[in-house]
Structures are given as C-alpha cells and as structure tokens.
Amino acid sequence: MNSTDLQTLMTDLGKRARAAARSLALAPSADKDKALRAAAQAIRIDTGLILEANAKDMAAGEAKGLSAAMLDRLMLNVARVEAMAKGLEDIARLPDPVGRSLAEWTRPNGMHIARVAVPLGVIGIIYESRPNVTADAAALCLKSGNATILRGGSESFHSSQAILTALKGGFTACGLPADAVQMVPTTDREAVGVMLRLADYIDVIVPRGGKSLVERVVAESRIPLFQHLEGICHTYVDKAADLDMAKAVVLNAKMRRTGVCGATETLLVDAACAKTHLKPLVSMLLDAGCEVRGDHLAQEADCRTLPASEADWSTEYLDAVISVKVVDGVAAAVEHINTYGSHHTEAIITEDAGAAQTFLNGCDSAIVLWNASTQFADGGEFGMGAEIGISTGKMHARGPVGVEQLCTFKYVVKGNGQTRPG
Amino acid sequence: MNSTDLQTLMTDLGKRARAAARSLALAPSADKDKALRAAAQAIRIDTGLILEANAKDMAAGEAKGLSAAMLDRLMLNVARVEAMAKGLEDIARLPDPVGRSLAEWTRPNGMHIARVAVPLGVIGIIYESRPNVTADAAALCLKSGNATILRGGSESFHSSQAILTALKGGFTACGLPADAVQMVPTTDREAVGVMLRLADYIDVIVPRGGKSLVERVVAESRIPLFQHLEGICHTYVDKAADLDMAKAVVLNAKMRRTGVCGATETLLVDAACAKTHLKPLVSMLLDAGCEVRGDHLAQEADCRTLPASEADWSTEYLDAVISVKVVDGVAAAVEHINTYGSHHTEAIITEDAGAAQTFLNGCDSAIVLWNASTQFADGGEFGMGAEIGISTGKMHARGPVGVEQLCTFKYVVKGNGQTRPG
C-alpha cells in the first residue's frame, strides 16, 4: 500500500474510533456489561471458525520457521477459546470505573467541585503473536468506555480477525457502535508508524510484546504510552531476615514461573548475614535447577556458581538464571536497585521494620514488597481484575493497568451563577 | 557551544538532578517547608540584586524592540519581588502531597497493599519571559519532592539567574541539595532540543509560554508533557437559562480578564431562546467594548456585530473579541464544542438539570461548569493552591496542575512470607 493510501486508511480508522468513543463514553454500565457477555457467547459460538483461522496462522508460522515458544503463544484450542470467553465475562462483572467520584469539595463561594472518572477516549493496542490479546484488550477498553484500535502481529492476523468478528457481533447486537473495536486491516509494517502519529485520534498507545517491539514504539510514538520495557526485579535478604521465610520467598520469586515480568532476576544478600544465609539460598537455587551467576562470595558459597559479569546486573533473563550479589546493608541494596533495575518490582525479606521502611521508601519502583514474593506483581493478584499490562512508566498509570487506569477524569463544577471577582 | 559540549553539559545537569531527586524524595515535610521559607527570605534580602539584574534584561529587551506586553511580563519591581517571596510562603503552608495513602486494601492471603503518593522525580520547566516562573515552578516542584531543571527565556536570563541564586541559598541553608533546582546555563536554542531528549534524567516537561513554544515542545519532546495548548472556552446559554444570570456570567466569562486561558471565546445560544436572550447578550457585550463576530442571527440581533468566518470558531482571541452562534439545543452545543474547542473549560447556563447533565457528560473537556463563569478555571480558585499550569492533555494530570499532580505513586505491599501459588 502506498503511503498516501495508508495515511487515508489510518485516519479513517481514527475518525471512526473517535466517533465511537464519544458514544461509548455515555453508554450505561448495563449496556456495556450486556455487550461483553454477548461477545463471550459469540466467541463460544464461533469456536470452530476461530480455530480454523488459527490453523491457517499456525501453518504459515511453521512454514516461516517460528520458534516453538512463538508457536505456542500463537496456538489456540477449545480450552484457550473458552478461557477467552470466560475472561470477557469476568470483565463484565467488574464495577464500572466510569463516573466514579474521585474527590468532591465545596468552595467558600458555594461552588461544588467533583473530580469524576471518564474514559480516556481511544486506546491503540500494538501486540505480537498472542491472539487472545484481541479479546482481552478490547474488553478492558470497552468496560472503561474507550474505543480500541488493534494492531496485531502478522503471525496471528487470521486468528485475530476471527475473534474480532465475534466481538463486533456481540457488541453491535447490544446497540454499541461497530467501531467500538477496530483492527488495522493490513499487516504492512508502515501502518504502525502511521498509527503512532495519529495523535488527534488516539489518546494512548499500549505496546504489548517483546523488548524490540516496545523499543520501536517508544522511539517513534507521538502519543503517550503505557509502556513496559523490562522487569529486572530484585529480592534483598536483609541481615534480620528469617532464613526459612527467605528461602521460601526467594524460591517462589525466581522459580514459580521464570518467564513472567515479576520474576526476580537478581538476589541481593546483606553482607552481615552472608555467613549464615548465602550458602543455603544459593545451594537451594542450584538444587532447584537454577543457574546462578554470582560475585566472588556467591562463588565461594557454592562451587557450582558461575562468575557474574557487569552486564548480569542489568539483564532480564526470563529464564531459570539468577544473579547473586552480597551488598553492604539495606542502603547499598537500594543503591544497587536504583542503579541497575528497571523500576518494576522489588522485595525485601526482613523482620526489621526500620530496614523495611528504608527499602520501601528508597526503591524508585512501581511495586515494593516487604516479606512477599515479587511474583505477586500482577493486576489480578492485586485484586484489580484483569490488566492490560504493567506500566514501568510513572505517568498516569504505574504498575498494573486495569480498567480504572484506562480512565482519566474531568472536573464537574456546579454553581448558581457565580462570577469570578478581581 | 558545539553539540558534543551541549550534550555533555545537559547530561551532567540531568545526572545531578536525578541524584538530588533521590534525596528530595525522602526529605521530611518540615525540612522542605523550612527551605521554602528560607528561600522567600533570601529573595527579600536579594531584592536589590534581583532588580539590578532585571534592569539589564529590560535594557536589552528595549534595545531588541520587545513589545510593550512582553516588556511588562519581563519587568520586576519591589512589589513583584515581594509577591514572589509571599508565593513561596504560601506553597510552604500547603499540605505535603508526598506520602499520602491514595488507597489501601488487604488481600485474602493477608497481604496489605497501599497506593502511596511519591514524587515524579525530575521536572523540566521550559518558559519564556516571566522571571517569576523561576521561583513559582521551583517551589511547587520542591514542595512535591521533585528536582527541577529550568530553562528560562533568553530575555529574562539575568533576572532568573539572580532569583535562582537566592533560591539555592535558601534551600542549601536548610540542608537540601544544591541541585534541587538548576538552570540551563546557556541561552543556546539547541539546549532545548537536547533537554527534550534527556528521557533518562527528566520525568516530565512543563512548557509554559505561548502557542509557538508549546508547539515546538510537543513536536520535539521524547519526554511526557503537561501541556497547555489553547483555551478555546465556550459558554452555552440554554433555553432554560435565567437571563439575568446568563448576562452576569457571560460578561464575567468574557470580560473579567480577556488574556487568561479560561476566558470564554465563543458564546453559544440555544435557538429556542434566541428571540428573548440573544439580543440582550450580544448588545451587553458590545456595550462593554467587546467586538462580536457572529452568525447571521447574531448580526440581526445587533447591527454592530461583524460576520464570523469558519476560522473564528476555533480561534483563541485572548482579547476583547467573542464569536457568537445560535445552536439547536444542548446536543448541538456539545457537538460544536467537541468539534471546535480545545478540551479546556466549558460552561452551561440553565435551570434545567437534565440539560445540564447532558452538557456536563457530553463535553470532552478538563473542566465543565453549570451556572458559573469559565474564568474559575484556575488551581487557586479550585482550592488546590498554586498551580504550575493547566493541562489540556488527558494523561496523569488534567486541568490545574498543583502539587498533588506533580506526584506519581507506588504500590507498597506488606506481607508475612506470602508466596504466589500456581
């Protein structure tokens, strides 16, 4: 497609989304929830069509030589389609985030001011191979009164289109606009560049995918982002840690799932307890099948430890690998984390409330935990319902981005003829 | 300065700011307030030096042929310096926005989660000729625990430097870091471009100035912004409006001060009350010395009305000029506002609660008022204390940006050894 046609196509998408957003912003909660349940039903009914489309994507993916991990992310089956439908119903059950009064007060002149939650408007989602993002993201946006423009990966193009058709059917059957959710109808790579410049029609972009996708979006976007670059998460075992608790939490933080963003990538151990705590922790990890790359003390603690290089302190392994370092107390742990970390999630294990407070205040991260596993970094685990992602940025949303974070607010002022003096 | 030197200079500024921000984030409220009062005192003591520096800027400005309006914005006198000092003391009296618990809850597994307000980090302020921005902006940032990098206009360079010296003296005397507030030490225009790319060291940029400054910053910045592009504000007089109230509010909304962003630029009148309300409103504005540019009905109402062109509906006059249009009820008013407005501030005058609700819900603007003047669009009038500006963007801060909006938050999780199952 030439660049003029692409610009026209994308601008048209944007205008339709903006018009749909105006109507969605005013949609009653009951209508939105009904539409989400209808979409869930439509997905169930379309299971055969969705799997047929997915088979096309899988065949093309195999022919292209996609890795086994990528093929697994791409693959749908009856259980995964049902999970998608159930996800929509779960989102329907969340409280409506729109219209909440976030604060209210009355001025001395009698004016009443309320800060009221309203939708952001139009959300652009740029994602890779997981076709279920199509349903999850569109549903979270709809629940929060936003229109969505989806740009899926070329690998999952047919699967996503089939899911989109089901969603649209459910939404329009309940009187919501067909343009509430749209998908960029081309796999042209240039379309992403055009999308990232549609600042008049898209209010926020959510890139969901690997580091190279996010880096491209960060570099090119003229639209604000909810971005998640990396999860270089730390667990610090303080001298006042209970060793049994430290072992249980560290093992879970690293090994429960090694591929999630909240997995601990670096273990920091207080020098003051290295003699008693370092060997049990390092050996436990090695025994559990984790590769350990450590400083010289960690290497001395267990000879299976490999030497860590400077690059290890800022590496997100997303695998059964951990870097281990002995630091000189809580202040040094905070300093290490703020220097090498990615401002995502950090935990301290200690029985000392003062040391905990120093750590919780000092780490410049979205989530800080005291005596709990970094693997809790998740909107669902926080009780926020489904999340569209975790933001490592500081603006607007930080940490899990759920339906409340997909809203902005307006000030609603009620008076009886007040004029401003002076 | 060559571009390598500029890059080195700006990166150094950024690194110092980041280090200062880490320490300011942990500074007790009492220390910050003491530092603000000390800075106010230092400004009073330095009044002579500040006025001397300002005289240099004024002489250079006159030689350069700056307009009378620009020279007035640049000019300091004893009263204006005292107002600056008093402004710092007012900010010291505000409650500390840092450390507030924004929400707290306990999970079924016993983990306690709190969303706690923390500083954003480093704020970059890019402004034009008003030297008082130096003190106001730095004080608001300090109160909210942020470090500041100021880039003032070349016209006010000497004045701003003298104010900065006084501020730094006050801050450091109270043990706060000298780099809490820094100023770009060159008037090189390229420095702004470098600053807008320092995403590792600056968390948010606030452009304060005219439309061309803001447009440049929006086009070039790789850092999130609190931006204020235009205030194309509307007042809609509904058929159920009380005419006396409508006259009082419209006169105030347009004429109290015509150069502020909350001034009404377009008056919309419901066709259903045009016969009774249009002429009194239009003639009142003309009698008050306001130029009226109207549609044919407004021209028929008073022959002094000039014809409005299409461009008038999207023009921010910032002057004693108003555009007037008759619209077909509240839905048409909302449609006009969402099409031509700048999402800033809009008012409806009506005694009909249903019409008011339609207007308040439908306008996609930061501030919507019912029976009150658009000139209330101001952090001080909202009871938020001083503001660093009004944001017409939707992300993070919308409307007045005060000390609370200069904060982000973190999630602080307290457990007793919880690990995540599954």
pLDDT tens column, B391-411: 998 999 999 999 999 999 999
- Are A113 and B382 an interchain contact pair (Cβ–Cβ within 8 Å)? yes
Average pLDDT of the segment spanning A165-170: 96
pLDDT tens column, B115-135: 999 999 999 999 987 898 899
Asked if the model's pLDDT at residue A2 lies above 90, the reply is: no
Residue A168 banded pLDDT, cuts 50, 70, 90? very high
Q: What is the pLDDT of residue A306?
A: 98
Asked if the model's pLDDT at residue A44 lies above 90, the reply is: yes
- Which tokens belong to B336? 């006009």
Q: What is the pLDDT of residue A376?
A: 97
Contacts of A111 in chain B (CB under 8 A): 372, 376
Name the residue in chain A with its Cα closest to that of B204.
A395
- Are B410 and A399 an interchain contact pair (Cβ–Cβ within 8 Å)? yes
- Are A413 and B372 an interchain contact pair (Cβ–Cβ within 8 Å)? yes
Name the residue in chain A with its Cα closest to that of B203.
A394
- Are B415 and A365 an interchain contact pair (Cβ–Cβ within 8 Å)? no
Q: How far is CA B377 from CA A105, B56, B233, B263, B390, in A?
A: 15, 35, 10, 9, 8
As a whole-number percent, the residues of chain B with pLDDT over 70 amount to 100
- Enter the DSSP assignment of A131: T
Asked if the model's pLDDT at residue B384 lies above 90, the reply is: no
pLDDT tens column, A264-284: 999 999 999 999 999 999 999
Contacts of B417 in chain A (CB under 8 A): 242, 245, 248-249, 371-372
Mean pLDDT score of chain B, rounded to an integer? 95
Asked if the model's pLDDT at residue A363 lies above 90, the reply is: yes
> Which among B368, B393, B408 has CB closest to A413?
B368
> Which among B203, B248, B366 has CB closest to A419?
B248
Mean pLDDT score of chain A, rounded to an integer? 95
Contacts of B356 in chain A (CB under 8 A): 414
Q: What is the pLDDT of residue B345?
A: 97
Angle, helices A132-143/A157-173, rounded to nearest 10 degrees: 30
Q: How far apart are CA A73 and CA A133, in angstroms?
A: 11
> Which among B249, B398, B414 has CB closest to A417?
B249
- Other beta carbons within 10 angstroms of residue A311's beta carbon come to 9
Cα B35 from chain centroid (whole Å): 24
> Which among A245, A372, A416 has CB closest to B111?
A372
pLDDT tens column, B38-76: 999 999 999 999 999 999 999 999 999 999 888 998 999
Q: How far apart are CA B1 and CA A10, in angstroms?
A: 42
Interface test with A, best of B344, B398, B410 (most A CBs within 10 A): B410
Q: What is the pLDDT of residue A286?
A: 98
Name the residue in chain B with its Cα closest to that of A251.
B419
> Which among A107, A362, A417 has CB closest to B248?
A417
Asked if the model's pLDDT at residue A232 lies above 90, the reply is: yes
- Are B420 and A381 an interchain contact pair (Cβ–Cβ within 8 Å)? yes
Residue B227 banded pLDDT, cuts 50, 70, 90? confident
Cα B36 from chain centroid (whole Å): 21
Asked if the model's pLDDT at residue B338 lies above 90, the reply is: yes
- Are B419 and A248 an interchain contact pair (Cβ–Cβ within 8 Å)? yes
> Which among B107, B411, B417 has CB closest to A245?
B417
Structural contact between residues A405 and B361, judged by C-beta atoms closer than 8 angstroms: no
- Are A411 and B367 an interchain contact pair (Cβ–Cβ within 8 Å)? yes
- Are B375 and A415 an interchain contact pair (Cβ–Cβ within 8 Å)? no
Asked if the model's pLDDT at residue A38 lies above 90, the reply is: yes
Predicted TM-score of the model (pTM): 0.93
What is residue A377's three-state secondary structure? coil
- ipTM of this complex: 0.93
Instruction: Domains for chain B: give ranges and CATH numbers.
Output: 3-226+400-413 (3.40.605.10), 233-376 (3.40.309.10)
Residue B336 banded pLDDT, cuts 50, 70, 90? very high
Alpha-carbon gap: B323 to the closest alpha carbon of chain A (Å)? 20
- Which tokens belong to A27? 């949609």
Alpha-carbon gap: B249 to the closest alpha carbon of chain A (Å)? 6
pLDDT tens column, B168-216: 999 999 999 999 999 999 988 899 999 999 999 999 999 988 888 999 9
Contacts of B105 in chain A (CB under 8 A): 383
Asked if the model's pLDDT at residue A228 lies above 90, the reply is: no
Name the residue in chain B with its Cα closest to that of A99.
B361
Average pLDDT of the segment spanning B245-271: 97
The maximal CA–CA distance of chain A, rounded, in angstroms, is 79
Q: How far apart are CA B124 and CA B156, in angstroms?
A: 17
Residue-wise DSSP of B173-214 = HTT--GGGEEE-S---THHHHHHTT-TTT-SEEEEES-HHHH
- Which tokens belong to B75? 């000019």
Average pLDDT of the segment spanning A43-51: 98
Q: What is the pLDDT of residue B69?
A: 84
Average pLDDT of the segment spanning B245-255: 98
Name the residue in chain A with its Cα closest to that of B217.
A222
Query: For residue A307, what are the β-bridge partners?
Result: A294
pLDDT tens column, A173-218: 999 999 999 999 998 889 999 999 999 999 999 998 888 899 999 9
What is residue A219's three-state secondary structure? helix
Q: What are residue A364's phi and psi, to 5 degrees? A: -90, 65
Asked if the model's pLDDT at residue B328 lies above 90, the reply is: yes
- Which tokens belong to B86? 């008093």
CB neighbour burial string for B1-19, b if at least 16 within 10 angstroms, e if fewer: eeeeebbebbeebbebbbe
Q: How far apart are CA B264 and CA B254, in angstroms?
A: 5
Name the residue in chain B with its Cα closest to that of A347.
B413
- Enter the DSSP assignment of B225: B
